[in-house]
């Protein structure tokens, strides 16, 4: 084999190796093709850990984002001198302040009990009602799959809220015969959500470069004083997470990102 052919063969092998090693994650613009997005989470602060940077990018681009909180977070925190009602009020205030940091003005609190969330018909009906009211182009929710490598993301309430959100998107919210009282008594027409972005999945397929939104994400999370204290640990924690996700997508080491699994629900 000639030297020229050997070089050409070696180059092909290198190209194939590089292609095989290339990240499968796609970097996307979260504002592309949407006007209204509904975020469904179990507790106050869940969205800020998982998607506040993405939310900030969307609202800055003019997308309306609505938060739906399944619980008030009344079982969160370590202050034994507070009542359940006091903790719920504190966490609602904190989430409202956090939402303002990333451009979100509308929050819906469903009031289910923290620590007792179940993906039952009651929650599916409540979420179907919200979906029909908001009529979003996209829903962002938590993963319904337990991740043994990241157990803190797999809080039972997270899993149940994620499962209920997906079931409300398909089939409930679009089906006129599911919870017919929503249409007959409340006048809420069925609504089909075209896609769902799921947080904290073990195998995401898209990332959002949130570098420019880091300060907003940090401010949002710092608003949850009852959960994060003075927040002095957050810059390093969030920075490490963001760089890890960005690196998995082939972005530069200076970039930060958030990852999602996109589910086509059209």
* Segment (H or E) for 47: helix 46-50
Whole-angstrom distance, CA of residue 242 vs CA of residue 197: 18
Domains defined for the chain, CATH in brackets: 34-264 (3.40.50.10320)
pLDDT in tens, 28-80: 999 999 999 999 999 999 999 999 999 999 999 999 999 999 999 999 877 78
Spatial separation of the C-alpha atoms in residues 266 and 264, rounded to whole Å = 6
What is the structure's pLDDT at 13? Answer: 38
Tell me the mean pLDDT in the region 157-170: 98
Please enumerate in sequence order all residues whose Cβ is within 8 A of that of 157, keeping only pairs 6 or more positions apart, or say none. 42, 43, 70, 71, 114, 115, 116, 117
Task: Give the pLDDT band of residue 143 (cuts 50, 70, 90).
Answer: very high
Report the distance separating Cα 162 and Cα 168, nearest Å: 10
User: 107 in helix, strand or coil?
Assistant: strand
pLDDT of residue 23: 56
Report the run of H or E that residue 62 belongs to, with start and end.
none
Please give the DSSP secondary-structure letter assigned to residue 113.
P
């Amino acid at each position: 084999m000639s030297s020229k052919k050997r070089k050409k063969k070696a180059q092909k092998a290198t190209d194939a190796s590089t292609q095989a090693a290339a990240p499968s994650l796609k970097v996307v613009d979260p504002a592309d093709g949407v006007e209204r997005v509904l975020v469904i989470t179990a507790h106050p602060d869940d969205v800020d850990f998982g998607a506040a940077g993405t939310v900030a990018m969307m609202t800055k681009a003019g997308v309306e984002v609505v938060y739906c909180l399944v619980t008030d977070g009344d079982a969160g925190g370590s202050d034994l001198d507070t009542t359940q009602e006091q903790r719920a009020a504190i966490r609602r205030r904190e989430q409202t302040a956090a939402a303002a940091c990333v451009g979100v003005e509308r929050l819906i609190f469903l009031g289910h009990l923290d620590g007792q969330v179940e993906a039952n018909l009651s929650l599916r009906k409540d979420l179907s009602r919200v979906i029909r009211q908001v009529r979003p182009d996209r829903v962002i929710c938590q993963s319904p799959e337990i991740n043994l490598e990241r157990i803190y993301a797999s809080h039972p309430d997270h899993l149940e809220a994620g499962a209920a959100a997906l079931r409300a998107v398909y089939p409930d919210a679009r089906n006129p015969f599911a919870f017919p009282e929503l249409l007959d008594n409340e006048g809420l027409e069925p609504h089909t959500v075209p896609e769902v972005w799921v947080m904290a999945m073990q195998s995401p397929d898209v990332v959002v470069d949130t570098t420019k939104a880091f300060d907003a994400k940090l401010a949002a999370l710092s608003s949850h004083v009852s959960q994060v204290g003075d927040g002095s640990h957050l810059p390093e924690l969030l920075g490490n997470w963001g760089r890890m996700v960005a690196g998995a997508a082939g972005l530069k080491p200076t970039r930060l990102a958030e990852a999602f699994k996109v589910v086509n629900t059209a």
